[in-house]
Amino acid sequence: MPELPEVETVRRTLEQLVAGKTIRSVAVHLPRIIQRPDDKAVFCAMLEGRTIQTVERRGKFLRILLDGLVLVSHLRMEGRYGVYKAGEAVGKHTHVVFHFTDETELRYKDVRQFGTMHLFKPGEDLSQPPLNKLGIEPLDESFSYASFRDTVAGKGTKIKPLLLNQEYVVGLGNIYVDEALHKARIHPERPAESLTKTELQALHAAIVSTLLEAVEAGGSSIKSYVNGQGEMGMFQQQLAAYGRKDEPCPHCGEAIVKTVLAGRGTHFCPSCQVLKPKRIARKHT
């Protein structure tokens, strides 16, 4: 499932490929991808003649800004965009095609068919579902230590599920939550309210640096990220904890453990990330 860095990489690539292109017509082959408006014919008619201006992102959602409309797109598990020349063979699982006036087309493929598209007038999308309840953007200037502390403070929820909840901080999924908690040396089951100021500061910094590194890794590999068919997919960057069960922790060498927390595979170092931190004995001098 793409998380913030993958969606950000798709956003950058997509913007390079489609900004300035004008839609001549749209074909929808799987109506349930289109969540708003209800009628796919209306969706297609609304987009005809519109020019794509920029592609933005809110959490894990893409916001494709056109003149007079905003198309909100969520890739969910397997959604992919690709730009093709008109007439090129159409691959399996192609559900939506945006035909441009320059004889190219943007195709949306989705093997799992979980992706969604919502169409709004400008200014309406951020105050309505699915974007209205999203929390702070961790790569935005507004994500200060103070705003993070206020989001987490006093909550009895375990820190990992809290970070996965998009109503608090957006864009983090299973991979980057495990990575940020490992980097900050915090056990994923610690109640949020039990974190000390030092731990919260470390976690805030770890979230930002983990995401930035991943965005940079994606950003620097944009060319390889678009495959021969012009498809944009996910990239894997070097991970320290996630997916590394039984491998040595890069900090201490202890074997990474995998458990299940709130139904999600969870990776951590049992030595660096302890559930009940020992009190540091004060030296009496």
271: contact with Zn ion by CB under 5 A:
yes
Site for Zn ion in 30-59 (CB under 5 A): none
Site for Zn ion in 73-102 (CB under 5 A): none
Site for Zn ion in 221-250 (CB under 5 A): 249
CB of 193 to Zn ion, least distance (A): 24
191 belongs to the catalytic site: no
Identify which range of 23-31, 137-145, 215-223, 264-272 contacts Zn ion by CB under 5 A.
264-272
Among 251, 264, 265, 277, binds Zn ion (CB under 5 A): 251
The footprint of Zn ion on this chain (CB under 5 A) covers a number of residues equal to 7
Identify which range of 87-95, 173-181, 197-205, 268-276 contacts Zn ion by CB under 5 A.
268-276
**107 labelled as ligand-binding?**
no
Identify which range of 56-64, 189-197, 237-245, 269-277 contacts Zn ion by CB under 5 A.
269-277
76 belongs to the catalytic site: no
CB of 56 to Zn ion, least distance (A): 38
Other residues' Cβ atoms within 10 Å of the Cβ of residue 237: 17
185 belongs to the catalytic site: no
Among 252, 255, 259, 275, binds Zn ion (CB under 5 A): 252
**95 labelled as ligand-binding?**
no
Output the 3-class SS for the chain. Answer: CCCHHHHHHHHHHHHHHHCCCEEEEEEECCHHHEEECCCHHHHHHHHCCCEEEEEEEECCEEEEEECCEEEEEECCCCCEEEEEECCCCCCCCEEEEEEECCCEEEEEECCCCCCEEEEECCCCHHHCCCCCCCCECCCCCCCCHHHHHHHHCCCCCEHHHHHHCCCCECCCCHHHHHHHHHHCCCCCCCEHHHCCHHHHHHHHHHHHHHHHHHHHHHHHCHHHHECCCCEECCCCCCCCCCCCCCCECCCCCCECEEEEECCEEEEECCCCCCCCCCCCCCCCC
Nearer CB in complex with Zn ion: 77/252: 252
CB of 209 to Zn ion, least distance (A): 17
Nearer CB in complex with Zn ion: 141/246: 246
Residue 249: Cβ-neighbour burial (10 angstroms; 0-12, 13-18, 19+) = buried
Active site positions, annotated: 2-3, 60, 264
Return residues touching Zn ion (CB under 5 A).
249, 251-252, 254, 269, 271-272
| Annotated binding residues | 93, 112, 155
Summarize the annotated binding site for DNA as residue ranges.
Answer: 93, 112, 155
